[in-house]
Amino acid sequence: MRFDEWEPIYQEICEYFSFDPAEDDRAAHILATLTTVDASEHLRDLIKGKTVTVCGNAPVLASELKKIRGVIIAADAASAVLIKNNIIPDVIATDLDGIEDYAIDINKNGTILVVHAHGDNIPRLQTWVPKFEGPVVLTTQGKPFDHVYNFGGFTDGDRAVFLAHAMEAEIINIIGFDFNDPEVTPMKKGKLIWAKKLLSSFNHE
């Protein structure tokens, strides 16, 4: 998705949640200083023309692992569920609030980390990003620049789907998503509403 298409959606999201776009931009520029690595072409080569499974982090994920096929993109903490089941994701889309030290090791061994900056995760960016020695792609939900991209999407889960589309996946299979989970905070409920709305524009399995 081009930024001119995404920007009005982003503005609506910021108004809905009372987010400050200037803080998102500040986080993105801080992120850009933390690494010069840009594995976006590697990411495209991995995904283009392929079947991709995007794994969300809803509790249902553990019961749906048999549905995985093709390239595996994990949304943040979904990666922990995969690893506990001896499945190594090819890509993790993350704002860094759900990963643990395993991410450092699997990144070193080739898992691509698509690291997202937003206004309230600057300390996590500064703590985690310098530890990553493998392939990394940087993203923002604001205006992209230099080696910081915006593929569209808002939550880790729907951003992973937007990412797969941007990288020209042939088939996108999604598992581990539960947009009606009652056991969430009001903020999380709002995010699930937006994720469902954003993903409704795509055809996927």
Q: pLDDT confidence of 180, banded at 50, 70, 90? A: confident
Give residue 201's pLDDT. 76
Give residue 181's pLDDT. 81
Higher pLDDT, 124 or 2: 124
- Which letter, b or e, does each residue of 55-86 get, where b requires 16 or more Cβ atoms within 10 Å of its Cβ? bbbbeebeebeeebebbbbbbbbbbbbbbeee
Q: What is the pLDDT of residues 42-101, one digit of tens each?
A: 999 999 999 999 999 989 999 999 999 999 999 999 999 999 999 999 999 999 999 999
Q: Over 90: is that where the pLDDT of 204 sits?
A: no
Mean pLDDT (the chain) is 95
Q: Over 70: is that where the pLDDT of 203 sits?
A: no
Q: Over 70: is that where the pLDDT of 205 sits?
A: no
131, 118 Cβ separation under 8 angstroms? no
Q: Where are the domains of the chain?
A: 3-199
Nearest alpha carbon to residue 56 among 155, 136, 141? 155
Nearest alpha carbon to residue 114 among 83, 168, 152? 152
Q: pLDDT confidence of 165, banded at 50, 70, 90? A: very high
The structure's pTM equals 0.95
154, 13 Cβ separation under 8 angstroms? yes
- Which letter, b or e, does each residue of 7-33 get, where b requires 16 or more Cβ atoms within 10 Å of its Cβ? eebbeebbeeeebebebbbebbeebbe
Give residue 46's pLDDT. 98
Total length of the chain: 205
Give residue 95's pLDDT. 97
Residue found under tokens 């691509």: 112
